[in-house]
Structure 1
Amino acid sequence: MTATNRVKATIPSAIRSPSDIVLCSMKLKEGTDRKTLSRFGDDVWDLDPVIFHVTARNAFRTIDFTDIVCPVERLTAKEYIFAWLNERLPDRTGRLRPLSARAALATLRQFMAFVREREGRFDAALIDQDLLDAYLALQKKRSVLPTRVGACLRPAAQLHRLARFLTHGGLDFVPWNGTPIFKVAGCGGRPYENMTPRIPEPVIGGLLRWSLRYVELFSTDILAARDELDSLEVAYAARPRYARRGSVEGRLADWIERRRQAGRGIPVWNEPERMGGICDAIALDQRLDGHV
């Protein structure tokens, strides 16, 4: 967190502290220093420490609130994204994926701009079902697929779902009486029944018999082989260090052979006796045929 990354907020959050870590509930990349993580008080959040997709675009690795001029909208947006990223609620919606945070902020800002244009300012207390229906009609007039319309309706559902985590409050009513937003947008529903053709009984019967055979007959041998492999791997890892690289004699012979093939000699003393006869011993060694 740096001084240049913080914009003085005119409205403090009643829910979050400026020092709250944005990625507090997520698994971090190995080696990440928690002291460098983005804080709620920052207006640019770095999400890269929790994005493990190596092909993800850099633009999706940060989320920027500095362009939101209105302090109420900026605070609402930050609390909205923070809560959706971290809060575990007893429903099926789940938490926001870090890679989707940028898109979530964009759709929220689009919705806030619509409310501001209609009501003169953004205030969740001014939103009612009629206003949501008008926003739905506006989205359906666009040349986009129903799935995109549904994505644009998410802020309405999330402002109700995350209302208790927003200083200025969220929607105090259930949008569209609880109808799923993608159904409201006109997306076709999916059948809940599994329509995959049934596996023929002779086929599944044979597979089941062999599965039981593995458990009843082969499992003992499989577990024994696993134990033997584990013991061999432990013994291999515990072998002496020099054994991993071969003996000194063998490595010296390999080195001399490589130099001989390259047409190079070996630097030796002109007076072998000063080395205790080592040069003579090497030259007369039968393994090297005297070629040194």
Structure 2
Amino acid sequence: MTIESRTAPASQNSQTHPFEGQDIFDAAGLEASVDAHRPNFNHDVWDLSGLKDAPATMGTFRKKLDFTRIVNPQWRLVAKEYLFSRLAPRHPVVAGSASAFRTPLNPSTIWNELRRLTRWFNHLSHAGVAHLGEVDQQRHCISYLNEVAWKDAKPEEPVSPSTIAAFIHSTQVIQQYTGILSENYAPGFSPWGGKSADSIAGYVRTTENQVPPVPDTILRPLLANAFYLIETIGPLLAAEASRAREFDELQKRSIRGLKQSERPRLRTAIERLQQAGVAAPRLSAAGRAKRISQGWDEEDPLLCLAWHSVVTTVAGAMGHRRDLEELRPLLVAWVNECGIEESWCRDGALVPRLDNQEQIPWAIPVDRSALAAMKTAVESAAFFVISALSGMRSSELHEIRGGSLTREDLGNGIYRHRILSRRIKGQQFGGIDDLWVVIEDVYRALGTVESLQDANPGELLFTKQSNTAHLRYVRLRNWMNGPVGQRLGLAEVPEGPVSPRALRRTLALAIAQRPHGLMAAKYHLKHLSVATTEGYAARPGGHQAAFRAEISAAEESEHLRLTVAAYEDYKQGKLPSGQGARELTRVFASVDEILTSHQPGQATVIDDRRVERLLKAKAESLFVGDANYCWFTDPKKALCLQLAQTPDATEPLIGLCDSGRCPQATHHGIHREAWASHAESVKTVFLGNPRLSKPELSRAQVTFDRANRILTEIDNAGATHEG
């Protein structure tokens, strides 16, 4: 198969094709790298690898548009005409069509578009259709729907409605280019009679974020393992990876044979290694198999000796067999006395296991492939930590390059950490530069990746192994649950979906639903919230602003849920307590009146949506404290603002909240555990401490009494109403 293929057939009127010889990049207004191959409309394979500023997630295979996979040669031309029209909507022929799309197709998506067209056209060919005018709804469209509705690899597993809708849409959109395409459906025919692809596939579009968060049962061990790998294993592995890179550079320069004058030095070096008890390096399994195929005796004591690496390290030369045979007696003595083991991670420093803190070597001797697998695992651990604690999208993670970290010293030991990346989603092809403000944990994780790779400035960090986040996660999970991970005491990570999208959603919900959740308790949720807010303020149009919008939406939904839950408790006799309880109860009572009032002879439907609408205004005033709710309706009544002397503030200062005295604070059953834990902690740590001074003891007693008073109020509020 060649890229420079035959010229496209002429159009039906025997004139030169209007797209004949058109340069794809020029027609689409796309920039190409210097000396890049330039695809032409006439080519049967469009090579887009020369695209300048292509996103990292646009893999190599997505840049090869192979039209020869379409069985019918005439339909290859149709596919090229259609995709050219989508890429270059300003071309005079395309611009003259009233039904053609006016927005250029993003080159990142064109591979999928061709894949769907190929499947449709080949389905028709297999059904015996020679011309698009023969396509029939019952015989061809319905059978195609049944074909694409189930996965090829897993016939028992259905395809998602959104994917089915995309396949159907590709069959329908061809009709919009009648007059441009050299062949089209019969006049008046439209697949599925003009019904929308979404309705046929049963796909319901929504503006709500429906990505499920990562379950805590998966998130907890994943993050615990990831931080252990980054902080404990990462620095030691980086040193070993550096040594491996140095050996690679030495091996590249070792292209000459061993000189006769260098053999005494090599003999001396081997004798010293033997005297020091250093094991000989082991040859890879592939190397051993090659030696056996070349006639080596399988019982040869030197069969597994990595002779070339010995010569390379000592003399910077290539190790040939003639050199080995000359030194065979010395080498056999070395192997017999010291043995053979893998070259990497020997004499590993002791580190504590993650599970029981037992001191073990951070790694056992491994071969080069196992060292690479460990390096990939730590890099992947950093990838998911950055995703989980920054909210960056997968496309933005893959655009991170060496030298993208910045650290600003704000004084008093306070730093602001930023990551420079590129914003791809919602932007023109290639994206634009964007900055993310992150916490120190994320800064350290990315720093570990840079040290592992010894990355040069501008070098992509997360595209060397796989730019598919799902595949990256599967490999990381298997490694964590495998022998190496279990030797380190890593927690077993259960099966389940994990992706940057799900982790972004998890973080948004964790911040919105504070103070609940794993990350709130363990990973400085307050700092996460501050970092994302700083990023939003610094770049209002950036994607960190979009992430803050997701948080705000989730926060609004969570506050409404909590308000409705408090109202439902009220209806069941579980009243709130605290200084703001009377006002909150009055609001709930007014809602009751509205719900129960109706005109004579008219029925009133009370559903969840109506209750939420009535409580929405109250929910908008809710701020969630560590052990209380703050209904911030009047800044002048807010005790925290009075203490801080900022009466004009638009939000409460939750960190200064004294919910036992504030007239806008309430306590509910959900807060009882927090107050009980607080009271027990004060009793154990302070009141039970004989070394406490009298003033300190007095303050602790006041705190303990206040906690018990609030506990009593919470208990009595529910009991009083029930009685």
Instruction: Report the TM-score, using the length of structure 1 for normalisation.
Output: 0.56
- Residue 27 of structure 1: how far off its partner (Å): 4.0
Corresponding position of 1:146: 161
- Residue 45 of structure 1: how far off its partner (Å): 1.1
**C-alpha distance in structure 1 between counterparts of 2:32 and 2:119, whole Å:** 36
The equivalent position to 2:182 in structure 1, one of 167, 181, 195, is: 167
**Residues 171 and 61 of structure 1: is their aligned pair in 2 closer, same or farther, counting only changes over 3 Å?**
farther
Corresponding position of 1:132: 141
Secondary structure of 1:28's aligned partner: coil
* Residues 1:179 and 2:177 aligned together: no
Q: Does the CA contact (< 8 Å) of 2:87 and 2:104 recur in 1?
A: yes
**C-alpha distance in structure 2 between counterparts of 1:186 and 1:151, whole Å:** 12
**C-alpha distance in structure 2 between counterparts of 1:8 and 1:30, whole Å:** 24
RMSD over aligned Cα atoms: 3.7
- TM-superposition CA deviations, 1:111-138 (whole Å, max 9, x none): 11111222x1342101133232332233
Q: Does the CA contact (< 8 Å) of 1:183 and 1:189 recur in 2?
A: no
* Residues 1:53 and 2:62 aligned together: no
User: Please, which moves more after superposition, 91-100 or 44-53?
Assistant: 91-100
Secondary structure of 1:63's aligned partner: strand
Corresponding position of 2:76: 74
Counting only pairs closer than 5 Å after superposition, residues 1-292 of structure 1 correspond to structure 2 as 5-9=3-7, 11-13=9-11, 15-29=17-31, 32=34, 36-48=37-49, 49=51, 52-87=54-89, 94-118=103-127, 120-130=128-138, 131-142=140-151, 143-170=158-185, 172=187, 173-190=189-206, 197=556, 200=620
Corresponding position of 2:653: none
The amino acid that maps onto 2:134 is L
Secondary structure of 2:26's aligned partner: coil
Larger strand proportion of the pair: 2
Q: Number of residues paired by the alignment?
A: 200
**C-alpha distance in structure 2 between counterparts of 1:177 and 1:191, whole Å:** 27
Secondary structure of 1:66's aligned partner: helix
- TM-superposition CA deviations, 1:42-69 (whole Å, max 9, x none): 1221223255203421111121223445
- Residue 191 of structure 1: how far off its partner (Å): 6.2
**C-alpha distance in structure 2 between counterparts of 1:20 and 1:153, whole Å:** 29
Secondary structure of 2:172's aligned partner: helix
**C-alpha distance in structure 2 between counterparts of 1:33 and 1:163, whole Å:** 36
**C-alpha distance in structure 1 between counterparts of 2:119 and 2:169, whole Å:** 11
**Residues 134 and 95 of structure 1: is their aligned pair in 2 closer, same or farther, counting only changes over 3 Å?**
farther
- Residue 171 of structure 1: how far off its partner (Å): 5.8
Instruction: Report the TM-score, using the length of structure 2 for normalisation.
Output: 0.25
**Residues 16 and 33 of structure 1: is their aligned pair in 2 closer, same or farther, counting only changes over 3 Å?**
farther
The percentage of aligned residue pairs carrying the same residue is: 23
**Residues 112 and 152 of structure 1: is their aligned pair in 2 closer, same or farther, counting only changes over 3 Å?**
same
- Residue 92 of structure 1: how far off its partner (Å): 7.1
- Residue 78 of structure 1: how far off its partner (Å): 1.3
**C-alpha distance in structure 2 between counterparts of 1:67 and 1:191, whole Å:** 37
**C-alpha distance in structure 2 between counterparts of 1:101 and 1:153, whole Å:** 16
**Residues 54 and 71 of structure 1: is their aligned pair in 2 closer, same or farther, counting only changes over 3 Å?**
same
Unaligned segments of structure 2, at least 5 residues: 91-97, 152-157, 209-552, 557-615, 622-631, 636-648, 650-723
Secondary structure of 1:87's aligned partner: coil
The amino acid that maps onto 1:46 is D
Q: Does the CA contact (< 8 Å) of 1:9 and 1:71 recur in 2?
A: no
The amino acid that maps onto 2:191 is P
Secondary structure of 1:137's aligned partner: helix
**C-alpha distance in structure 2 between counterparts of 1:140 and 1:55, whole Å:** 26
The amino acid that maps onto 2:194 is G
**C-alpha distance in structure 2 between counterparts of 1:121 and 1:9, whole Å:** 24
Secondary structure of 1:104's aligned partner: helix
Secondary structure of 2:162's aligned partner: helix
The amino acid that maps onto 1:162 is Y
User: Please, which moves more after superposition, 43-52 or 74-83?
Assistant: 43-52
**C-alpha distance in structure 2 between counterparts of 1:145 and 1:155, whole Å:** 16
Unaligned segments of structure 1, at least 5 residues: 211-292
Secondary structure of 2:65's aligned partner: strand
Q: Does the CA contact (< 8 Å) of 1:140 and 1:149 recur in 2?
A: yes
**C-alpha distance in structure 1 between counterparts of 2:56 and 2:118, whole Å:** 28
What stretches of structure 1 move > 6 A for 4+ residues in a row?
Answer: none
**C-alpha distance in structure 1 between counterparts of 2:207 and 2:39, whole Å:** 42
Indicate the structure whose relative CO is greater, using CA pairs within 8 Å and at least 6 residues apart: 1
**C-alpha distance in structure 1 between counterparts of 2:45 and 2:89, whole Å:** 20
